[in-house]
Amino acid sequence: MRSPTRVQPGIAMCNALTIDVEDYFQVSAMAPYVARSEWDTREGRVEKNVDRILAMLDEYGARATFFALGWVAERYPQLMRRIVDNGHELASHGFAHKRAKDQSPAAFFSDIQLAKVVLEDTAGVQVKGYRAPSFSISDADDWAFECIERAGYSYSSSIYPIRHDHYGSPDAPRFAHDVRERLLEVPVTTMRLFGRNWPAGGGGYFRLLPYMMSRWLLRRVNYVDQQPVIFYFHPWEIDAAQPRVHGIDSKVRFRHYINLHRMEGRLRQLLFDFQ
Ligand SMILES: [Zn+2]
């Protein structure tokens, strides 16, 4: 393990904590098992889980960016206001959690435009950021960035520069870069090792890997790359008691339910270890 030497001791880098505000049944991997028409019939747990996150962030004096679905904002408008009232940034995860690549440019544009209007009306703030469901935009998708810019967003955090079966854009730049004249892309954090990028910025990998390993990866980004970490997780990841979706593929089951009971403790450690 290389020790951190390239940053002056005592200078902590400020990182970005981001939360994709959606419920357990809206995850893309669950789409084959839970139809959109069933969403309103499932037990909603996102509000309670986000309130737990707000309380936890308050304890550590941390502020985060919440990429919320327009669908969630319509059903829980008070929750959007609580996010803003607690000093956090409200951003957009689109309206209906459809992957960018699965839609026509026109349908994609209307989804992200609707989400922006709903979130801004609900919370009374300007929404500047957008994150595509399942990181479903690659660096080659200029049509999508054109839509995001035209919808009035000023940044996107939609690229995960890794190789993954459901998403990823392994050759995209690893750090924030301009993708349009008025649009900045802020990719989720990866670590560069053995000539390829490894996932480091959260999600299932953070639940899968031992915490010490995640911390080592993230510290390298701060100290070796000298870049802030862009970390993400979902409210359902701290909810070990969430209702199980039955009949799902074993890989989906493993990825969704692994170490849910450890997540809150790990997040607390993360909030303690990083600024
Ligand atoms: Zn999502």
Q: Measured in angstroms, how far is the CA atom of residue 135 from the centroid of ligand 1?
A: 8
Alpha helices in the chain (DSSP H): 46-60, 70-75, 77-85, 105-123, 142-150, 204-208, 211-223, 250-257, 260-273
CA–centroid distance, residue 176 to ligand 1 (Å): 20
> What's the gap in Å between 23 CA and the centre of ligand 1?
9
- Note residues around ion ligand 1 (Cβ under 5 angstroms): 20, 22, 133
Average pLDDT estimate for 224-244: 96
CA of 226 to the centre of ligand 1 (A): 28
* Alpha carbon of 207 to ligand 1 centroid (Å): 16
Considering the entire predicted model, what is its pTM? 0.94
Collapsing DSSP to helix, strand or coil, 138 comes out as coil
**Residue 170: its pLDDT value, please?**
83
Name the percent of the chain lying above pLDDT 90.
83
Please choose, from the candidates 12, 13, 71, 67, the residue with its C-alpha nearest in 3D space to the C-alpha of residue 37.
71
Q: What pLDDT is attached to residue 163?
A: 80
Residue 69: band (very low, low, confident or very high) from pLDDT cuts 50, 70, 90: very high
For residue 124, the CA-to-ligand 1 centroid distance in Å is 23
Name the band, by pLDDT with cuts 50, 70 and 90, for residue 12: confident
- In the predicted model, is pLDDT for residue 3 greater than 50? no
Specify whether the CB–CB gap between 131 and 158 falls below 8 A.
yes
| Residue 69 Cα to ligand 1 middle (Å) | 8
Query: Which of 142-146, 161-165, 167-171 reaches the highest mean pLDDT?
Result: 142-146
pLDDT digits (tens, 9 = 90+) for 96-112: 999 999 999 999 999 99
The kind and range of the H/E element at 178 are strand 177-180
